[in-house]
Structure 1
């Protein structure tokens, strides 16, 4: 009863494991102490239990974390760096992995197997005997948070990270800049945050991250095996920058600050020496803040940039990213350019059935030696309403996105000719034009993120099997229902969608 569904689950007969009052977390191997501490912290929130972390052999009733070469799942030939083996017996629990990342994901599985116990009385904290071998289908399983339309504080971003790791999501894509706000301080261009960071959608509060605050978010995520992917959207979606520096505008006149929700009206002054310096400075500073390998350049909805200027701009900007030691990422429109650095990653956001030339642009990245992140907007855009008439969310896709929509699709069947070999992974995106609080963020994301996370982690359907047959919504809904007690115990908001047999609310 775990989300995402593990690769192999083998229940065993016998007495269950009981998390007793003397239980400890026994750690061995490089990085195991950190994973053990994170497990201890998580259990304190999930079930009000305070387990000590010890570098000693496990005793009866302990939880053992072992990180060593050769640990983890190998029965199927997998050597995934994120794989783990979880064994539950009456005498104890053992999580084995070759890396801290694998051990950490094993911890998330154990958290879901253990019942939440907000009262901390210890009754019922048992797990049936089981052996689980598990590893992800894709290396990239992402969640995007738009902090440009509505700003979210560092503490709120960390709360979001805590929610996504339970579902084994390992990339946090932060949409840092847009027409409505610029959220990362740039030392060489300070007006970007002083002016451009002062507003948000619908007149909401502005805000921005200092570089130290951003480093802290990156470090918090990294400790939890989440890689931050910063996005600097350009040459469109740039009104906050254009309001901050007149020289970046095509006519040299500063734009007024913008708090609406239109798109496609802004563009940098492409081909200009000052704009080139701006791009180099901004990319250099942000690249230095992020140890992760990816830096996202946006490149979507550039309706006010002349087509030839757009191609020239994104090619040059992508090479600047590469010169700063990062792999460029761009929305699929950047596939119009054929001079991108080899290995550039494309992010596809059109529908699960491609329209117009979106598939052609996506394939362009593959032909350039790159790979794709799949974020089809009719399945993985979590700002779309759950149901008609919802007060929060958007409906531009033409229909609500239900839990079924987020679950019943397969990345390898979206773009003709592009299979798993050329897919880096999947990402669920939350745009925040209408989403203003962290509680609203959680309710829009959960439980649909659980569906996208399973699409990205669990084994692919057989080639000859229809996706609708492979993805049993009733069975999935029963597993999602188990998550409710963990979300309730940690004060995490979620939408009680009709596809899930939710437990009765406590109290």
Structure 2
């Protein structure tokens, strides 16, 4: 009894027991501090509010949260902020800090960088008890106050948007997205019913392709076998055509497709779907197709999209939906970023710890059985956050049926913390069991390494050590397991990405193992370790019959003055995803340099195709902005082999002078042959949900599809560039996207929560006018201060009368009643 009494007294002294229940009633509010500005006063504040009926003893807990940007503690007499590495921070409350009933506590801190958008605000708040470490209390959602914008500032922004939107006036939707290599429209149309007679050349084996069948189902028609002559649809083999090429002819005799492969037939059907209007696919009008003659083949063999599912996991059903989307717009490479510091998302049967440890984030990470919370994941582990072997194989087969190749990425040697910590836990377990040799087999770090570095995401222990044989043993086993997953479903792993991105300065400099390696190999500087590592990985891939891909650094080397192109490894047939062309960053021509040197280059332009970037400067827009501010126009503006031709017309390119651009490297003929494709990328630091994924990707992905497949235009060159022709092409593209392709998504893929266009506003001659970023959406508005809904009054095309003091709130609405971002114009 005395022992129980003592325990209760201890719990009360620590503020535990009943206080733990009341800590769940702690509300967190985030705001800019008084006088905040982006340049010299980045003071921010957290307000903690006790919404319960009893006091909360804050000194019994630590408050934890994630911050996208590094922060500085400003001091104070109540608490201190402590950097816990990565983007995790801990608040320590001073002894005696208690939050009384209905009381609040304000804590200030500074951001090292401006907080310009909502995704840059902190998230993932939780309390963790000091006395009972298993007691973790999530505190989300957090109330965030947006950056204040005056009415005059918002009016100016809306007027600028109106002017930019005006570019879209008088557009005509292009007939197909992406546009074919050759397109001729003839007079007349072919009307079809719900049952089609279909002849398929048996040489094409189309009956084996469920994706091909799905394409027909999208048109809501049933196909029955018919004769070669007289069927509504005739799919014929033409061995003279390239593997993805097709010819499509529609006339009074019906629809004829010629192709050498099932892939070509599939892409022809996608063009047929694109020819149909949204109204026809929705059953609102009779299905018919114009008479056309099309000869088509892709501009680039590699047409890709990279999705990061490591930072914030996305389940199999989401990935399948995106396979369907990619295939529908003739994109053929789905690069999955499985591995990073914050998560390992693919089951590796030979090393179960990778997902047992590396896929789980929780506030109990100090015990080594999970990894730290990141990017708003909160304090509680949330179950299985990885693809099992069975699920991955299901995805492989699903994608192959739609002519999409899954390219797995195993990030190394940087961005490797999830793997490092998982293998460290394995090492500790086996060492405890007295199995030293087995424990060291897959160790990825060197305990004696005292190197000091800080990664781009603020990690200081996330780089594998390339001097350890166990690192290569690890990569060998992981690749064997993944290769077997492909082989077991009848596929071949031909290309694998092994990362290579962002190894921080300072890595390996104080590693005894690296010093020994350098001595053994006759290296004079630690920089030579990098190409050594690249060659070792290449040997592993080559031994398994795989080509090796990675980020641009695999084709670069530091010779003491920063990373430059490494000519010596160009013969290895490395495939490089080149992202670093931030406009004004000095590397705008890096993709061309690497292609000219002989590397197989996939232009993954961060200035145009990083789809985790914000759409515009409005605080409410999600995403990051370090690479660019990227709307649909900016994505469309990339000219793959003439990047500098229209740079002055991109928002981010206006600051660059002709003299600066003249010094940049252009593609040679050799380089042009090595520029094998384009890829967009979606990094998931700010993408916690599937709905947010849709919002960030669409409609910008359509611009990638257009550039990767459609032929090069005559005006796509520095000497031939014509802004008027470019803008006409953009108008027609944007009209196709807004009025046709976005509305089709509900029918095609079960629905996407794509971004709705924002409304621009202009006051002129006593009237207020409004327009949208891409057409096809109704504008609704209110005048009573309430936010518009789907049932609000439609804004008239001729505008409304302007009256002094009036406040107009406007937004777009889609067919499902979703409302876009609200524009508020004050007269």
Out of 230, 241, 244, the position equivalent to 2:419 is: 241
Out of 278, 281, 292, the position equivalent to 2:474 is: 278
Deviation at 1:391, TM superposition (A): 4.3
Deviation at 1:106, TM superposition (A): 0.8
Residue in structure 2 matched with residue 123 of structure 1 by the alignment: 285
Q: TM-score normalised to the size of structure 1?
A: 0.88
Could you tell me how far apart the structure 2 residues matched to 1:191 and 1:56 are? 57
Residue in structure 1 matched with residue 182 of structure 2 by the alignment: 8
Could you tell me how far apart the structure 2 residues matched to 1:264 and 1:429 are? 25
Q: Is the 8 A contact 2:195 2:224 kept in 1?
A: no
Aligned-residue CA RMSD in angstroms?
Answer: 2.7
Deviation at 1:5, TM superposition (A): 1.2
Deviation at 1:31, TM superposition (A): 3.5
Residue in structure 2 matched with residue 73 of structure 1 by the alignment: none
Correspondence 1:39-50 to 2 at 5 A: 39-44=212-217, 46-47=218-219, 49-50=220-221
Residue in structure 1 matched with residue 698 of structure 2 by the alignment: 446
Residue in structure 1 matched with residue 387 of structure 2 by the alignment: 209
Counterpart check, 1:343 vs 2:573: yes
Correspondence 1:84-99 to 2 at 5 A: 84-99=246-261
Could you tell me how far apart the structure 1 residues matched to 2:709 and 2:447 are? 48
> Secondary structure at the residue paired with 1:23?
strand
Could you tell me how far apart the structure 1 residues matched to 2:459 and 2:292 are? 51
Answer 1 or 2: which has greater strand percent.
2
| Cα-to-partner distance string for 1:194-230 (whole Å, 9 max, x where unaligned) | 1001236422745112223212211111111111111
Residue in structure 1 matched with residue 720 of structure 2 by the alignment: 465
Q: Which moved more, 1:241-250 or 1:228-237?
A: 241-250
Residues 252 and 211 (structure 1 numbering): CA distance in 2 closer, same or farther, change over 3 Å? farther
Could you tell me how far apart the structure 1 residues matched to 2:592 and 2:358 are? 32
Q: Is the 8 A contact 2:206 2:262 kept in 1?
A: no
Could you tell me how far apart the structure 1 residues matched to 2:401 and 2:711 are? 26
Could you tell me how far apart the structure 1 residues matched to 2:264 and 2:703 are? 21
Q: TM-score normalised to the size of structure 2?
A: 0.55
Residue in structure 1 matched with residue 741 of structure 2 by the alignment: 483
Deviation at 1:357, TM superposition (A): 5.5
Counterpart check, 1:401 vs 2:563: no
Residues 217 and 117 (structure 1 numbering): CA distance in 2 closer, same or farther, change over 3 Å? same
Deviation at 1:366, TM superposition (A): 4.9
Residue in structure 1 matched with residue 776 of structure 2 by the alignment: 502
Residue in structure 1 matched with residue 641 of structure 2 by the alignment: 412
| Cα-to-partner distance string for 1:371-413 (whole Å, 9 max, x where unaligned) | 100011010101111122244211112x420111111121212
Out of 442, 455, 458, the position equivalent to 2:707 is: 455
Deviation at 1:35, TM superposition (A): 7.6
Q: Is the 8 A contact 2:407 2:497 kept in 1?
A: yes
Could you tell me how far apart the structure 2 residues matched to 1:362 and 1:235 are? 25
Q: Is the 8 A contact 1:227 1:292 kept in 2?
A: no
Could you tell me how far apart the structure 1 residues matched to 2:481 and 2:448 are? 25
Q: Is the 8 A contact 1:350 1:377 kept in 2?
A: yes
Could you tell me how far apart the structure 2 residues matched to 1:387 and 1:458 are? 27
Could you tell me how far apart the structure 2 residues matched to 1:122 and 1:281 are? 55
Aligned residues: 487
Residues 10 and 172 (structure 1 numbering): CA distance in 2 closer, same or farther, change over 3 Å? same
Residues 41 and 86 (structure 1 numbering): CA distance in 2 closer, same or farther, change over 3 Å? same
Residue in structure 2 matched with residue 392 of structure 1 by the alignment: 622
Q: Is the 8 A contact 1:36 1:65 kept in 2?
A: no
Q: Which has the larger radius of gyration?
A: 2
Q: Is the 8 A contact 1:335 1:365 kept in 2?
A: no
Deviation at 1:362, TM superposition (A): 6.5
> Secondary structure at the residue paired with 2:471?
helix
Using CA pairs under 8 Å that are at least 6 residues apart, name the structure with larger relative contact order, 1 or 2: 1
Counterpart check, 1:30 vs 2:178: no
Could you tell me how far apart the structure 1 residues matched to 2:591 and 2:247 are? 39
Q: Is the 8 A contact 1:142 1:426 kept in 2?
A: yes
Out of 118, 125, 133, the position equivalent to 2:295 is: 133
Correspondence 1:50-129 to 2 at 5 A: 50-54=221-225, 56-57=227-228, 59=230, 62-70=232-240, 79-116=241-278, 121=283, 123-129=285-291
Counterpart check, 1:178 vs 2:349: no
Deviation at 1:88, TM superposition (A): 1.4
Q: Which moved more, 1:136-145 or 1:332-341?
A: 332-341
Could you tell me how far apart the structure 2 residues matched to 1:467 and 1:280 are? 51
